[in-house]
């Protein structure tokens, strides 16, 4: 409410569906409500694990449901609504959702920084970041779906939001921030019932904060240049250390649910080349039962590069074994922390970023 200058509803309803099935957590935003599906197992383990998605869906009441893309106006459920701007509508929503958790005291500064660091690791571990632009990832979701090849506009969009916020603060001597951009969009577009065109972002930034970000957008939204975390976060008194370590791996595999169902995997990885597919159930690894993604990574992590692992899988009710080569993967680890002794402008930027309006 403080960020947006009031709440545009008189009643907002959170509807939660707690389920024990393997579909994981998901949410659907509406103007004055949201429906959120959570795993009851996760919630029982740690109720705060639901904080991110609750905050994300709630922020959508502004960003997507009121501030929206021209492609969604009017929303026609019979046809594709393609846009390059999902980095803003989903990724930047996640960024503001995380800021809200920090500024409201649900998260500590350390938790906020740890979550941003995980996003950096996720992007830096994805080789497609050097092939697919953020704008393309958004546009192509109609072809590929969220589990297809490419990068996640949630993931890189959130990081672009963080870096853009710091760059605006730096360029305006901390007088403006991404907060002004979202205000501008709310008052100029949402209140006038106007959708945002994909080619308007540079103009929007110029209008909202009085600076030119064309080159920044060309490099990081429409280009595949590496995001310069260290350089930009230093302007906010944050130090980013990104390290790589060779680790035994059979590929990046996302597994969900109690039956170890493969949600996504890289087709070119060792497991993909050995025949593992989306929706397969992995029953055993080297004849051992295991628990989820963490269990799989832990087992593979103990192997030597050049070894093999045997997966027993089930597909369409038929079981068979796969032999998968254990390969070398550069594992990324990122640590974000507060830099010691920042100068006064850097300290001012850090304080206002972390504590908000």
**Nearer CB in complex with Zn ion: 84/90:** 90
CB of 63 to Zn ion, least distance (A): 9
Footprint of Zn ion on residues 140-179 (CB under 5 A)?
none
**Nearer CB in complex with Zn ion: 90/327:** 90
CB of 184 to Zn ion, least distance (A): 21
CB of 153 to Zn ion, least distance (A): 10
For Zn ion (CB under 5 A), the number of binding residues is 1
CB of 350 to Zn ion, least distance (A): 28
**Nearer CB in complex with Zn ion: 75/225:** 75
**Nearer CB in complex with Zn ion: 138/174:** 138
Q: Which residues of 223-245 are buried (b: 16+ CB within 10 A; e: fewer)?
A: eeeebebeebbbbbbbebeeeee
Q: What is the 3-state secondary structure (H, E, C) of the chain?
A: CCCCCCCCCCCCEEEEEEECCCCCCEEEECCCEEEEEEEHHHHHHCHHHHHHHHHHHHHCCCECCCECEHHHCCCCCCCCCCCCCHHHHHHHHHHHHHHHHHHCCCCCHHHHHHHHHHHHHHHHCCHHHHCCCHHHHHHCHHHHCCCCCCCCHHHHHHHHHHHHHHHHHHHCCCCCCHHHHHHHHHHHHHCCCCCECHHHHHHHHHHHHCCCCHHHHHHHCCCCCCCCHHHHHHHHCEEEEEEEEEEEECCCEEEECCCCEEEEECCCCHHHHCCCCCCCEEEEECCECCCHHHHHHHHHHCCCCCCEEEEEEEECCEEEEEEEECEEEEEEEEEEEECCCCCHHHHHHHHHHHHCC
**Nearer CB in complex with Zn ion: 64/178:** 64
**Nearer CB in complex with Zn ion: 86/255:** 86
Footprint of Zn ion on residues 69-98 (CB under 5 A)?
90
CB of 151 to Zn ion, least distance (A): 16
**Nearer CB in complex with Zn ion: 57/179:** 57
CB of 154 to Zn ion, least distance (A): 7
**Nearer CB in complex with Zn ion: 31/273:** 31
**Nearer CB in complex with Zn ion: 90/179:** 90
Footprint of Zn ion on residues 281-300 (CB under 5 A)?
none
Footprint of Zn ion on residues 318-337 (CB under 5 A)?
none
β-pairing, 26-29 with 238-249? unpaired
CB of 64 to Zn ion, least distance (A): 7
**Residue of closest CB approach to Zn ion:** 90
CB of 86 to Zn ion, least distance (A): 9
CB of 93 to Zn ion, least distance (A): 5
Structural contact between residues 19 and 39, judged by C-beta atoms closer than 8 angstroms? yes
Task: Copy the structure tokens of residue 58.
Answer: 């709630």
Footprint of Zn ion on residues 299-318 (CB under 5 A)?
none
**Which residues of this protein are in contact with Zn ion, per CB under 5 A?**
90
């Amino acid at each position: 409410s403080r960020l947006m200058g009031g709440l545009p509803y008189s009643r907002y309803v959170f509807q939660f569906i707690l389920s024990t099935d393997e579909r994981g957590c998901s949410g659907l935003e509406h103007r004055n409500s949201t429906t959120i599906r959570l795993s009851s197992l996760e919630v029982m383990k740690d109720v705060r694990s639901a904080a991110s998605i609750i905050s994300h869906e709630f922020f959508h009441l502004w960003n997507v449901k009121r501030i929206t893309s021209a492609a969604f106006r009017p929303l026609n459920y019979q046809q594709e609504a393609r846009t390059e701007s999902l980095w803003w509508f989903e990724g930047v929503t996640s960024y503001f959702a995380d800021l809200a958790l920090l500024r409201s005291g649900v998260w500590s500064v350390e938790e906020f920084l740890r979550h941003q660091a995980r996003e950096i690791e996720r992007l830096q571990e994805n080789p497609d970041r050097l092939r697919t632009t953020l704008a393309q990832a958004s546009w192509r979701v109609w072809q590929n779906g969220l589990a297809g090849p490419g990068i996640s506009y949630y993931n890189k969009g959130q990081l672009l939001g963080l870096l853009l916020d710091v760059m605006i603060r730096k360029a305006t001597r901390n007088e403006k921030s991404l907060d002004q951009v979202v205000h501008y969009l709310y008052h100029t577009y949402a209140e006038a019932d106007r959708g945002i065109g994909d080619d308007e972002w540079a103009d929007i930034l110029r209008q909202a904060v009085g600076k030119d970000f064309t080159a920044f957008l060309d490099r990081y939204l429409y280009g595949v240049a590496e995001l310069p975390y260290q350089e930009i976060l230093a302007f906010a008194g944050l130090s980013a250390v990104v390290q790589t370590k060779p680790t035994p791996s059979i590929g990046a595999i996302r597994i969900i649910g109690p039956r170890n169902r493969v949600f996504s995997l890289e087709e070119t990885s060792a497991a993909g080349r050995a025949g593992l597919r989306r929706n397969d159930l992995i029953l055993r690894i080297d004849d051992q039962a295991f628990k989820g993604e963490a269990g799989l990574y832990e087992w593979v992590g103990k192997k030597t590069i050049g070894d093999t692992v045997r997966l027993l899988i089930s597909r369409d009710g038929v079981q068979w074994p796969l032999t998968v080569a254990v390969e070398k993967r550069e594992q990324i680890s990122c640590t974000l922390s507060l830099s010691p002794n920042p100068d006064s402008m850097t300290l001012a930027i850090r304080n206002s970023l972390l504590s908000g309006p």
